[in-house]
Amino acid sequence: MEWIATCPHETVDFLAIELEKLGINQYKKLHRGIRFQAENEQAYRAHLGLRTASRIQKVLCDLSMHSLADLQKALEQIDWPKILRSHRPFMIRPTLADEESTQLGEEHIIAIIKESVLNSKFEKSPPKYNDEADNPITIVLFVRDQQAVLAIDTAGRALHKRGWRTNGHPAVIKETMAATILMMADYDGSMPLFDPMCGSGTIAIEAVYIALNKAPLIHRGKDDFSLEHLVGFDRILWRKISDELRAQKKNDLLAPVYANDINEKYVEVARKSALKARVEKYMQFSCGAFQDLTPPAETGLLVCNLPYGERIGRGIAEKLLTEVGQALKTKYAKWKIALLIPSEMSVSSLQIKPKRIYNLFNGALPVKLVIIEPRHD
């Protein structure tokens, strides 16, 4: 069986590391994801356990696609009643990745696939097409260079939706991005972790999950993954894997996780999310301006997603970065640092030489993750 786990282009290497940790070694890196081979057991583990993947798809077939007739022909080989169930609505999401494929017309592609499903002989009735349903089964068709992959999105809701987020912060980062940043900073739970501008707590909560070896999607509700609604879904195996992953969770942290924000309201949002994520008891929250704080430990990893964007203005963001640089130099010399800042901001304001810079996107905004190693003098 072949699957595709998607992720931003810049983070493919980290997704590969995660797959290898799950024992999945047969894979091929793509532009925005990884195609891999896995039996159900490993694939179920990937659905519950990948921290950096955006979505997972099950591959149905590959085809050369010079025209819509090629798609029609390939669909004749697809036995939809052996894939889809009657009770679950479905929708179709084509991705036409170059100009040539765009000319095939998204609406034509949707119509052809839809007809293929609706005209198949289901024991009861075919599933209903409904692209406005809550979490419908999504058939995806990716086309580029006259080659196409037909697949089913088996995650359903995007995988950054872990099921614990509390609304109330205007500038959160995705959970998948927080996990990637932590991987880029080599976080493994063995050192104290401090997010001094935690906002809604995304980075600190993901850190606790990593430190406890807790599967990121383990608290998703029953039936939330599209996978669970497909023909052939093995509920007993799914439960076995879920139980195994639960059993692999450690009971305690090796080193503390601290989350702070200047705004009390956001600290409360973070605390609520941590409660929902069932990790609040492992975290230490505080409220204050980073510049005034005493480091919570002698050494550790400080990860920080600085405020930026139109809400606070560029001048203020630059001034804050300079102040953060000052605090880092004077109080956090023994800490490893990972700072997420917009690409347009100059690292020179920090007046500390970074060891490494990763270029990423936070939504549509180009950002960079600046990694600074501790000083050993």
Ligand X SMILES: C[S@@+](CC[C@H](N)C(=O)[O-])C[C@H]1O[C@@H](n2cnc3c(N)ncnc32)[C@H](O)[C@@H]1O
The reply on whether position 167 binds ligand X by CB under 6 A is no
CB neighbour burial string for 8-33, b if at least 16 within 10 angstroms, e if fewer: beebbebbbebbeeeebeebeebebb
Please choose, out of 128-136, 164-172, 215-223, 241-249, the segment that lies near ligand X by the rule CB under 6 A.
164-172
Burial of 276: CB neighbours in 10 Å, binned 0-12, 13-18, 19+:
middle
C-alpha torsion sign, points 169, 170, 173, 175: positive
C-alpha to C-alpha distance for 197 and 127, rounded to whole angstroms:
47
Using only C-alpha atoms, the chain has a radius of gyration, in whole angstroms, of 23
**Span of 26-34, 81-89, 148-156, 169-177 interacting with ligand X by CB under 6 A:** 169-177
Contacts with ligand X by CB under 6 A: the residue count is 19
Task: Indicate the residue among 255 and 289 with the shorter CB distance to ligand X.
Answer: 289
We find the least distance from the C-beta atom of residue 263 to ligand X, in angstroms, to be 4
Does 180 engage in binding with ligand X (CB under 6 A)?
no
Q: Which stretch binds ligand X (CB under 6 A): 47-55, 69-77, 114-122, 170-178?
A: 170-178
Question: Which of 24, 113, 203, 341 touches ligand X (CB under 6 A)?
Answer: 203
Interface residue with ligand X, options 172, 207, 245, 253 (CB under 6 A): 172
Decide: is 202 part of the binding site for ligand X (CB under 6 A).
yes
> Are 65 and 148 within 8 A, CB to CB?
yes
Q: What residues between 4 and 63 interact with ligand X by CB under 6 A?
A: none
For position 327 contacting ligand X by CB under 6 A, the verdict is no
Q: Which is nearer to ligand X, 244 or 323 (CB)?
A: 323
Token pair of 82, please?
A: 């052996």
First to last CA, the chain: 53
Region 94-133 residues binding ligand X, contact defined as CB under 6 A: none
For position 160 contacting ligand X by CB under 6 A, the verdict is no
Closest-CB residue for ligand X?
Answer: 199
User: How far apart are the C-alpha atoms of 197 and 266, rounded to whole Å?
Assistant: 10
Cα 4 from Cα 320, distance rounded (Å) = 41
Whose Cβ is closer to ligand X: residue 118's or residue 289's?
A: 289
